[in-house]
Chain A
Amino acid sequence: MKDRNMADKELIICRCEDVTEAEVLAAIEQGAATADEVKRLTRAGMGHCQGRTCRRLINQILARRLGQKPAEQKPVTQRSPLQPVSLKILADSKD
């Protein structure tokens, strides 16, 4: 099996923002110790799907790299809207 601590330059972790595993590991190298920091350094999780795919992967990479259990890593804050909604639909909504 491949050593998962080796950075894979090709492996996409966040497909919305095109962030690779190597970039996530570089952010951790730079001092990121939480998913919030990885997000802000790499933009992973800031794209169209809002981290639906990558947030678990990032927590796993962080935990593995920092010698923690994945559960010790807090997930990034989930923000509304939970899926992309057009300006028009929002503007036409009633409170």
Chain B
Amino acid sequence: MNRQDAKVAKVFNNVKHSLGSLRLRRKRNMSHTSDIIIIGGGIAGTATGYYLAKAGLKVALFDKGYLCSGSTGRCIGGVRQQFTSESSIKLMMESVRLFSGMDEELGVEVHWHPGGYLFLAHDEAKKKAFLENIRIQQAAGLKDVRWVDAAEAKEIVPLLNTEGLLGGSYCPTDGQAYPFAVVGGYAQRIKQLGGSIHTFTEVAGILQQGGKALGIRTSDGREFFADKIVNCAGPWAKDIGRLAGIEIPVEPERHEALITEGVEYLGIPMLVDYRADGGYFQQFKHNGQFIGCYTPVPNVPGTSCDSTFEFLTEMPRRMLKLVPALSEVKVIRQWAGSYEMTPDGNPIVDGTDLEGFYVVAGFCGHGFMLGPATGREAAAFIATGKRSPLLTDFALKRSYASREAMK
């Protein structure tokens, strides 16, 4: 045997040895083997997991806290189709369809209600931008969206302060749903379909060999194996990616929110005011609570979920500016959560350079609404390798140059 042959034989033996020990480990840990491992128990993880389980695959889902303990459980439950990326518009039309049939699909009441979204324009530049967005949305098939002038906005929301208002972009089939019920429903279905949910189980390592993902190691030293691993870790997607040696451009930012006591449902759609001192809020139909937030300027990077007095006083000012009649409604709770931002405002739904390691993350504050349809398309891609054209804008390796305008 010459030196070259000896080298090859050595490599071959090494590979044979490690494959042997891997088989052994797999055998020993049969209970720790599944088809799919999902990291993250928010909407991305549970929706993707549900559709993979529905396709007949054995799913094991892990979360370092409880279900909904990350971004999804801190979101305000808005569901809209008004975007500017064609992928997002079309996926959102699908999501709305899925939300409207979700009570039956998941066997829980998810409180879907098409209460509408009204984006307000107070200057000509905004009006022009909204008219252009409406053109894009209608071209993508969203026929329900339309421009309304200030008088019509007042008809839709009689309590709206229309001072300085030129009009707005209105879509009556946008709406709202209840995040805890949706995620809880998907999780129950995963279990019913033979999958497992591992809460309070932190992933500390991604096991891999020869460029292929094999499984995970948890922080308490256990190993779980699967053919495919899906990173649905939201604000922590970058950290999980780094465990696998994969760079994922997702940066968390803090957004604060508050909720009021429940009062009579007033039929007010989600009001979105993009002005520097604007914000967005809606009223839940199922219990009459108003819920809302605004985007802080400058942004607040990081996963901190601390609340501020500034927000607690500023948000009511912004709400009362739009709907003064709410002045006696009482705030009962404030909190904060993380938006998981990508450079262009679109999520990442793709495979990676590590075979068998996928990403479904970076939803930029739109994860709850995009989750159902995106989870379904992601599951189809992961299960079959066939990629829906709806996911075109969400590739991991893209320019990140074109920005989502309605973010």
- Which residues of chain A have a CB within 8 Å of any CB of chain B? 30-34, 36-37, 40-41, 46-48, 50, 79-81, 84-88, 90-91, 93-95
Return chain A residues, CB-CB under 8 Å to B331. Answer: 81, 84-87, 90
Q: Write the chain B residue with the least CB distance to A36.
A: B66
How close is B338's CB to chain A, nearest CB, in angstroms?
A: 16
- Are A81 and B334 closer than 8 Å at their CB atoms? yes
The complex places the Cα of A72 from the Cα of B260 at a distance, in Å, of 31
The complex places the Cα of A33 from the Cα of B309 at a distance, in Å, of 32
Number of interface residues of B (CB under 8 A): 34
Given that A40-B73, A88-B316, A95-B313 are known contacts, is A48 also in contact with B332, CB under 8 Å in the complex?
yes
- Are B312 and A90 closer than 8 Å at their CB atoms? yes
Given contacts A33-B199, A87-B327, 13 further A-B contacts (CB under 8 A): A41-B180, A48-B261, A50-B332, A79-B333, A80-B312, A81-B331, A84-B330, A86-B331, A87-B326, A87-B328, A91-B327, A95-B309, A95-B313
How close is A84's CB to chain B, nearest CB, in angstroms?
A: 4
The complex places the Cα of A3 from the Cα of B104 at a distance, in Å, of 36
How close is B230's CB to chain A, nearest CB, in angstroms?
A: 21
- Are A86 and B329 closer than 8 Å at their CB atoms? yes
What 4 A-B pairs are tightest by C-beta distance, nearest first?
A84-B330, A88-B327, A87-B316, A91-B316
Q: Write the chain B residue with the least CB distance to A41.
A: B184
Q: Is the interface of A mostly helix, strand, loop or mixed?
A: loop
B320 close to chain A: CB less than 8 A? yes
Q: List 17 A-B contacts (CB under 8 A).
A: A32-B66, A33-B200, A37-B66, A40-B180, A40-B184, A46-B333, A50-B333, A84-B261, A85-B330, A86-B330, A87-B327, A87-B331, A88-B320, A90-B316, A91-B317, A93-B313, A94-B313
Identify B312's interface contact among A34, A48, A81, A88, CB under 8 A. A81
Return chain A residues, CB-CB under 8 Å to B312. Answer: 80-81, 90
* Among B191, B200, B315, B331, residue most surrounded by chain A Cβ atoms (within 10 Å): B331
- Are B188 and A30 closer than 8 Å at their CB atoms? yes
Report B299-346 residues with CB < 8 Å from chain A CB.
Answer: 307, 309-310, 312-313, 315-317, 319-320, 326-335
How close is B41's CB to chain A, nearest CB, in angstroms?
A: 11
How close is A41's CB to chain B, nearest CB, in angstroms?
A: 6
Q: Is the interface of B mostly helix, strand, loop or mixed?
A: mixed
The complex places the Cα of A50 from the Cα of B312 at a distance, in Å, of 16
The complex places the Cα of A93 from the Cα of B316 at a distance, in Å, of 10
B69 close to chain A: CB less than 8 A? yes
Return chain A residues, CB-CB under 8 Å to B199. Answer: 31, 33, 37
Return chain A residues, CB-CB under 8 Å to B313. Answer: 90-91, 93-95
How close is A76's CB to chain B, nearest CB, in angstroms?
A: 11
B150 close to chain A: CB less than 8 A? no
The complex places the Cα of A40 from the Cα of B181 at a distance, in Å, of 8
- Are B327 and A79 closer than 8 Å at their CB atoms? no
The complex places the Cα of A36 from the Cα of B199 at a distance, in Å, of 12
How close is B274's CB to chain A, nearest CB, in angstroms?
A: 20
Q: Write the chain A residue with the least CB distance to B197.
A: A31
How close is A47's CB to chain B, nearest CB, in angstroms?
A: 8
Q: Write the chain A residue with the least CB distance to B191.
A: A31
Return chain A residues, CB-CB under 8 Å to B329. Answer: 86-87
- Are B69 and A36 closer than 8 Å at their CB atoms? yes
Return chain A residues, CB-CB under 8 Å to B326. Answer: 87
- Are B334 and A80 closer than 8 Å at their CB atoms? yes
The complex places the Cα of A40 from the Cα of B197 at a distance, in Å, of 16
Return chain A residues, CB-CB under 8 Å to B315. Answer: 90
B67 close to chain A: CB less than 8 A? yes
* Among A32, A87, A88, A95, residue most surrounded by chain B Cβ atoms (within 10 Å): A87
* Among A34, A41, A50, A80, residue most surrounded by chain B Cβ atoms (within 10 Å): A80
Identify A88's interface contact among B67, B180, B328, B335, CB under 8 A. B328
B89 close to chain A: CB less than 8 A? no
